[in-house]
Amino acid sequence: MAREEEKDVLARFDGRGVILKVKQALEIDKMLFSFVQYGADNKLTNSVDCYLDASEFGLLMERIRNESLQKSIFAEKQRWQSSGDKYPKEIYISPIGGSHTKDGAVSRFFSIAPAAKYDVVFRAMAFPAAVSQTGAFIAQKGAKPIATILVSTTFHELAKMAYRWKWLENDYMSRKYCIANMQNAYRAAHREQADSQPVADGTAPQPAEQNVQTEQPQNADGYSDVYSADEDTLPFN
């Protein structure tokens, strides 16, 4: 039976007893890396959720699209295999996040590194944490991880994720970073100020409808009350 499609999942990576789903959470300007681990009886044993700001995720996808991430992974894999080190170095480490659980505060992050059998491995880790005065979740010094979940995949699967993000990114960014959304109070209040200033040759601009303006009641700034009221209806909120 075919697996039911999850509409919010941008990419899914499956391993033995582990799954990584990369989901859109753009309603809060983030993307979610959801790691889960299952036991022999197919029951959930561990899970780690890591959120990335949409812009941070976009930069990571750009590194995949221009293949700079893949090149760094390949170079580190060669160095690791020839060095005799037990583990490779991480190529990417996400910002540290956290949450409050019934067992206390937890900090969590994920990293990307070369994999032994595949091209790349995602590793999610969660630690018991203390919360600073600024609200940051700081892992307790010397504490052992509460959870560690590793999911391996290939460069091809990374490229597919970055390709799909391109369409979601265009839709999200065009809605969020457009003129209508980014108008600020100063610009809304002063958008007509430049029109009242002298032009470059020193000649002040003349009103187009002088006869109409003289019939309007004038406020302290010299603009008509009707004109000001009409301006308040413009979509610059």
Per-residue pLDDT at 47: 93
E strands present in the chain: 9-15, 18-25, 30-38, 44-53, 92-93, 97-101, 104-114, 120-131, 137-139, 147-153
pLDDT, averaged per 10 consecutive residues of the chain (237 residues), comes to 73 95 95 94 90 96 97 95 92 89 86 93 91 80 88 96 94 85 70 60 52 40 34 33
Per-residue pLDDT at 189: 65
Per-residue pLDDT at 109: 93
> Which class for 223: exposed (0-12), middle (13-18), buried (19 or more C-beta within 10 A)?
middle
What does the alpha-carbon distance between residue 34 and residue 199 come to, in Å, rounded to a whole number?
A: 58
**Helix H or strand E segment including 166:** helix 155-176
Beta carbons of 112 and 127 less than 8 angstroms apart: no
Beta bridge partners of 151: 122
| Cβ neighbours, 10 Å, residue 108 | 25
Amino acid in position 106: V
What does the alpha-carbon distance between residue 19 and residue 151 come to, in Å, rounded to a whole number?
A: 7
Among residues 130, 153, 161, 158, which one has the least CA distance to residue 143? Answer: 130
Beta carbons of 97 and 109 less than 8 angstroms apart: yes
Assign domain 9-176 to a CATH class: mainly beta
| Cβ neighbours, 10 Å, residue 16 | 7
Per-residue pLDDT at 143: 82
Reduced to 3 states, what is the DSSP secondary structure of residue 2?
A: coil
130: which residues sit within 8 A by CB, 6+ positions away?
A: 105, 137, 138, 140
pTM higher than the cut 0.85: no
21: which residues sit within 8 A by CB, 6+ positions away?
A: 6, 9, 11, 12, 13, 32, 33, 34, 36
Per-residue pLDDT at 134: 79
Per domain, the residue ranges of the chain are 9-176
Per-residue pLDDT at 206: 53
